[in-house]
Amino acid sequence: MKFDYDATYFNPTDVLECGQIFRFEPFREGYRVYSADKDCYVYTDGAKTVVESGDSDYFYNYFDLARDYSEIISHARSFNVAALNDACEKAKGVRLLNQNREEMIYSFIISQNNNIPRIKGIISRICTGLGQKMPSPFGEFYAFPTSAALASEEPEYYKALGAGYRDSFISDTAKRIRAEGISQLENLSYDELKKQLLTYRGIGPKVADCICLFGFGKRDAFPVDTWIEKLYREDFGGELTDRKKINTYFTSLFGEYSGYVQQYLFYAKRSNL
DNA sequence: CTCCAGGCTTTAG
DNA sequence: CTAAAGCATGGA
């Protein structure tokens, strides 16, 4: 029900504020974190980070605790890129979460051309409206809705929750997943999975990369958004403007470490660490 | 007022 | 194929 871990490469603030998750909030001495229909309480004293939950196996995997992040940091430093070395130093407490697949699909559809505080609000209202109420030692909460629940509402519902023009993207995708499931998306390579995700209305290259990276563990994905574009220009001296080419530039440079590197860079840049 | 936010779909050329 | 318009919303 409770386990602790060396805090050097597991800092709750870094993990939660780096932009990969939209459902968490300050709680007691740390944070309350929600994933699908589960929740946990995570906090640190600076030396050890503690996770308390009713499902330790789930959150052990969720926080990617089987992976050695000291190896990832040292590999990232081996690229000898100044901006990346700087990001590694400031953001070394980041870990890549293994999140719920369907939750990632809807969350990142909502994220497009949007800002993180507003994304959080929209997702929170969707959970309250359509999610199942769950008991927890830390207090009741609402689960992320199933695709069936999401498919039961029309675009107007999501519009009313502030989703804007993404309203039909949510309901269309929910209806498709309710009908098809997502099992056909499992056990695919990154390239194959991305190709499949691009067939959903509302999922483009960047959103697909985020879903691959955060929902399906495809660490060779490198999402390129407005912050990465800015960083590419300012810190890598890049001249390309086409996001697809910028994506290729980074993935061919960082290979299997692309996803980790992307998070270190994104977090350090966006949070101005 | 304009500009921007973890961009995408649609339409025009 | 690439380029650009249009898109909801809210904060700076």
Nucleotide closest to A112 measured between CA and C1':
B7
Query: pTM for the complete prediction?
Result: 0.98
Nucleotide closest to A159 measured between CA and C1':
C8
Name the one residue in this structure whose structure tokens are 């080419």: A245
Q: What is the pLDDT of residue A1?
A: 81
Residue with smallest Cα–C1' gap to C3: A242
The DSSP code sequence of A75-128 is HHHTT--HHHHHHHHHSTT-------HHHHHHHHHHHTT--HHHHHHHHHHHHH
CA dihedral for A262, A119, A130, A23, sign (positive or negative): positive
pLDDT digits (tens, 9 = 90+) for A166-208: 999 999 999 999 999 999 999 999 999 999 999 999 999 999 9
* Burial (CB count <10 Å: 0-12, 13-18, 19+), residue A171: buried
Give the whole-angstrom CA distance, residue A131 versus residue A143. Answer: 5
pLDDT digits (tens, 9 = 90+) for A41-72: 999 999 999 999 999 999 999 999 999 999 99
- The SS3 assignment for A231 reads helix
Q: How many residues does chain A have?
A: 273
Pair of tokens at residue A151: 């498919």
Spanning CA of A63 to C1' of B9, the rounded length in angstroms is 35
Spanning CA of A194 to C1' of C8, the rounded length in angstroms is 27
Task: For nucleic chain C, give residues with Cβ below 7 angstroms from it.
Answer: A 113-115, 117-118, 159, 162, 164-165, 242
- The SS3 assignment for A52 reads strand
Residue A224 · residue A195 · CB < 8 Å: no
Q: What is the pLDDT of residue A200?
A: 98
Q: Which residue ranges of chain A lie beneath pLDDT 50?
A: none
Q: Is the CB of A205 under 7 A from strand B?
A: yes
Chain C nucleotides with an atom closer than 7 Å to a protein C-beta = 3, 7-11
Spanning CA of A176 to C1' of C7, the rounded length in angstroms is 23
Nucleotide closest to A266 measured between CA and C1':
B6
